[in-house]
Amino acid sequence: MRPDTPAAHTTEAERLLRTAAQYPGDREPLYLQAAAHLELAGDRQAATALYDTLLSSSPTSPLLIRSLKAANLWEYGHEAEARAIIEGVRSARPTDAAPWEIAAETLEAHDELEAAEKTLTEAAALLVTSAELPHATQSLLTTRHRIRRMLALPHDDWDDQADLLHTADVPLDELHDPKRLWSLGSEDPAELQAEITRLRSELGTYRTALSRPFPVAVLHWPEPELDELLTAYPELEAEYPTYRAHLTDIEASLRELAQAGTPNLGIVRATVPSYEAFAASESTHPSNADLLPQYATTLAARGRATGWPPVWNDACWCGREAAYGECHGED
């Protein structure tokens, strides 16, 4: 269950920090989740302290952390510092979409729509290089589409691409129509019902995003690890009859989830020592098959998931020296 009170958010932040102490190799994603809970608890100074701790320790995603810190600082009165950080992030030209989008949404939240649109346009020029885009870049185009609609700007090629990528029942142009608020004061039942439908569509999207803070992940055992696992725990052979079947099941499971509309899918690479340590932490035996999905979820929560599907021409997730489109991406 998601925390819904400041005290619950504080408790969750403390739990995440304890987990980070146990797993120092995963400190960065755990600290970021803890900082988010501290912000929701209203303890923004403590959240800033966590961001500063991460930035002082050579993080893997410094520009993402800086963007999050800027958003947090602006919320409790440090506007000048937040603006300076955002300009620094823009000047650094991140190759990931997330720092750009967080910076732009911070500007948007403080009525800096033109600056937000300019930031996202700079990002699109850098990141949109093909028709197949990572989920984060698709999200960036959607945010840019919304802000441009608020500014009454005409569609451009990136707006058209955002429309094509949008899969919900209600078209993106309709969701982002700034005139929608007028319909809330309408006395026409048909207009009100149409607005309820649009709001439900938006709410479903937001609920999905909030309930999936980390990917829905499937376990992948590399062949040597799977051999070691089944040698030590033959009870699991029913789950993994052969390595080939294991790989086939991974792709099939993820495609089934995608077809059902599940977003934010991923794959986590399993190892026997890690799995045994997890079983010990849960006070159960590694031969217990019910433990496998819990292990996958825990690895994903610790930032170990790789997004699925890969870009068509990128290396396949299975580890073979072949492009995804020529390996497990084939129909």
Q: What is the pLDDT along the chain (331 residues), one digit of tens a residue?
A: 345 688 888 998 998 899 888 888 888 989 998 999 999 899 999 999 999 999 999 999 999 999 999 999 999 999 999 999 999 999 999 999 999 999 999 998 888 899 999 999 999 999 998 878 888 899 999 999 989 988 889 999 999 999 998 887 778 887 787 665 455 556 667 766 776 676 666 655 555 544 445 678 899 999 999 999 999 999 999 999 999 999 999 999 999 988 888 878 899 999 888 888 778 877 889 999 989 988 888 888 777 888 888 888 888 999 888 899 889 987 6
Task: Look up residue 43 and give its amino acid.
Answer: D
Q: Classify residue 274 as exposed, middle or buried by CB count within 10 Å of its CB (0-12, 13-18, 19+).
A: middle
CA pair distance 258, 251, nearest whole angstrom: 11
Decide: 42 and 6 in contact? Cβ < 8 Å: yes
Angle, to 10 degrees, between the axis of helix 79-92 and the axis of helix 97-109?
Answer: 150
Q: Classify residue 146 as exposed, middle or buried by CB count within 10 Å of its CB (0-12, 13-18, 19+).
A: buried
- Element (DSSP H or E) covering residue 267: strand 265-269
Residue with tokens 């790989």: 247
For the chain, give every domain's residue range: 216-326
Report, in this order, helix, strand and coil percent for the chain, each rounded to 5.
65, 5, 30
b/e sequence 36-50, b meaning 16+ C-beta within 10 Å: bbbbbbebbebbbeb
Q: What is the pTM of this model?
A: 0.61
DSSP string, 202-266: HHHHHHHHHH-SS-EEEEE--HHHHHHHHHH-GGGGGT-S-HHHHHHHHHHHHHHHHHTT--SEE
